[in-house]
């Protein structure tokens, strides 16, 4: 096999949860461009279908399915439906995230709703589809974490902006890194690789003061854009990373390297 062919996902099916958001859109596009039949799944099926239709016009093979990641029955039903419709799943990208908490002082109910998706739901997806892949003897699971699961809160980034930074995101993104390592150990003997990427801040027309502060803290001097996750996703989904598992890869312009 030629080296560049190692990056091909032709003949494979990839599932992306939360595929219509800032990260999800570029992840879905990357997988489709690499040749995968790509499935998006979330509660907002209308948004998924709208994005899928735009990509289909470019010749990509995209499907949209409903999924409430907080519902254990829904996760199993999605697995069974994808097995019936497509024969199975080769790549899972755990990208979905719920953000019910807004600040430290929010009621505990907001924390619990966050964990239902971002902790329990994440584990349910990983175990359900990981065991499916293990039965087939192959597969790649990619968890989309965050640098906020790797470092502490830097309040100076937000000083004077009136922004609140909730604690749940730090908690579940840090836990995601450890779940990645656990699942890699559990599923590795059956040919399933599990890795995590930890993106840095994404440019989304934030306050110029925040943008400048953040840029000053990175080696590359900028926030991430709509292209920056594509390469690492294709790499981890494909045979190009066949001997990589249990890894957490920062995609942050050098933010966590300081």
Distance between terminal CA atoms of the chain? 38
Nearest to 69 by CA among 102, 91, 41, 28: 41
Active-site residue, 169 included: yes
Pairing of strands 62-66, 91-94: unpaired
CA angle 79, 239, 117 (to 5 degrees): 35
- HSE of 48, CA atoms in CB hemisphere, 13 A: 22
Nearest to 29 by CA among 251, 231, 239: 231
Separation of alpha carbons 67 and 42, rounded Å: 5
User: Out of 169, 214, 243, 255, which one is annotated catalytic?
Assistant: 169
- Environment class of 228 (CB within 10 Å of its CB; exposed 0-12, middle 13-18, buried 19+): buried
Q: Which residues contact residue 194 at a Cβ distance below 8 angstroms, ignoring those fewer than 6 apart? A: 126, 130, 140, 141, 143, 180, 183, 184, 187, 188, 245, 246
51 and 25 Cβ atoms separated by less than 8 Å: yes
154 and 201 Cβ atoms separated by less than 8 Å: no
140 and 113 Cβ atoms separated by less than 8 Å: no
Active site residues: 169
């Amino acid at each position: 096999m030629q080296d560049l062919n190692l990056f091909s996902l032709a003949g494979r099916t990839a599932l992306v949860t939360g595929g219509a958001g800032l990260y999800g859109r570029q992840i879905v596009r990357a997988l489709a461009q690499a040749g995968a039949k790509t499935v998006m799944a979330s509660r907002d099926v209308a948004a998924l279908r709208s994005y899928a239709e735009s990509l289909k016009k470019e010749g990509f093979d995209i499907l949209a399915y409903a999924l409430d990641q907080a519902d254990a029955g829904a996760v199993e039903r999605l697995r069974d439906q994808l097995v019936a419709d497509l024969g199975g799943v080769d790549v899972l990208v755990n990208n979905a995230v719920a953000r019910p908490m807004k600040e430290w002082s929010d009621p505990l109910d907001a924390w619990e709703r966050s964990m239902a998706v971002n902790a329990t739901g994440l584990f349910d997806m990983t175990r359900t589809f990981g065991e499916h892949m293990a039965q087939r003897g192959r597969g790649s699971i990619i968890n989309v974490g965050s640098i906020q699961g790797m470092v502490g809160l830097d309040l100076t980034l937000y000083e004077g902006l009136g922004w609140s930074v909730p604690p749940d995101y730090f908690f579940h993104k840090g836990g995601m890194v450890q779940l990645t390592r656990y699942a890699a150990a559990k599923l590795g003997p059956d040919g399933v690789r599990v890795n995590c990427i930890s993106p840095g801040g994404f440019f989304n027309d934030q306050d110029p003061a925040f943008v400048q502060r953040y840029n000053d803290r990175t080696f590359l001097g900028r926030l991430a854009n709509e292209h920056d996750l594509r390469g690492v996703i294709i790499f981890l989904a494909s045979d190009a990373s066949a001997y990589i598992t249990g890894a957490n890869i920062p995609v942050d312009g050098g933010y966590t390297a300081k």
